[in-house]
């Protein structure tokens, strides 16, 4: 079952249960997935669906931070609830230790020795973590290992 199909089933359940916040978030996610499929002019692969959800989650995290700095706790709570719904559809994130093992493996495989070779390492690492780790965190880890 694709993520889109799962969202459709969960949307029906949320509608029947009267879960308004969850329902609105699920509808928003379905819309984003549909728009991405329309832009691509084909059905999305699971990796592409995960990328869309990761993008939505990243936007929520940025909004939470911005609203927190602005002192808007009501909006922080709303975005946090939406983020929780989005995260329920994403695969479990990799631990720092697992990401570090992948980074070490790729660095050894490529034979990278200096920060100048980050461009060789990052695409391979990101392909292996496939949306299960934050790219910013991975980049910091690679830079630390190569410095």
Asked whether 81 and 60 are in contact (CB, 8 A), the reply is no
In 3D, which of 4, 2, 23 has the Cα closest to residue 85? 23
Position of tokens 């660095």? Answer: 107
Distance (Å, whole) CA 6 – CA 144: 39
3-state secondary structure 64-92: HHHHHHCCCHHHHHHHHHHHHHHHCCCCC
Distance (Å, whole) CA 14 – CA 79: 18
Is this prediction's pTM over 0.85? no
| Domains, the chain, with CATH or none | 3-87 (1.10.1510.10), 96-146 (1.10.10.410)
Please compute, for residue 147, the number of CA atoms within 13 A of its CA located in the half-sphere on the CB side: 6
In 3D, which of 77, 76, 28, 75 has the Cα closest to residue 53? 28
- SS3 state of residue 142: helix
List the pLDDT tens digit at each of the 147 positions of the chain: 788 999 999 999 999 999 999 999 999 999 999 999 999 899 888 888 888 998 899 899 999 999 999 999 999 999 999 999 999 998 888 888 888 888 888 888 888 777 787 888 888 888 888 778 878 888 888 888 878
């Amino acid at each position: 079952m694709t993520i889109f199909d799962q969202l459709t089933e969960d949307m029906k359940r949320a509608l029947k249960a009267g879960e308004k916040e969850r329902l609105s978030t699920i509808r928003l996610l379905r819309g984003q997935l549909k728009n991405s499929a329309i832009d691509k002019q084909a059905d999305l692969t699971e990796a592409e669906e995960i990328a869309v959800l990761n993008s939505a989650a990243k936007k929520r995290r940025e909004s939470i931070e911005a609203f927190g700095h602005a002192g808007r706790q009501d909006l922080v709570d709303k975005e946090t609830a939406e983020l929780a719904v989005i995260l329920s559809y994403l695969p479990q994130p990799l631990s720092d230790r697992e990401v570090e093992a992948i980074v070490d493996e790729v660095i050894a495989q490529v034979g990278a020795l200096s920060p100048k070779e980050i461009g060789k390492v990052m695409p391979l690492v990101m392909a292996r973590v496939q949306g299960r780790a934050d790219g910013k965190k991975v980049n910091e880890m690679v830079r630390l290992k190569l410095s």
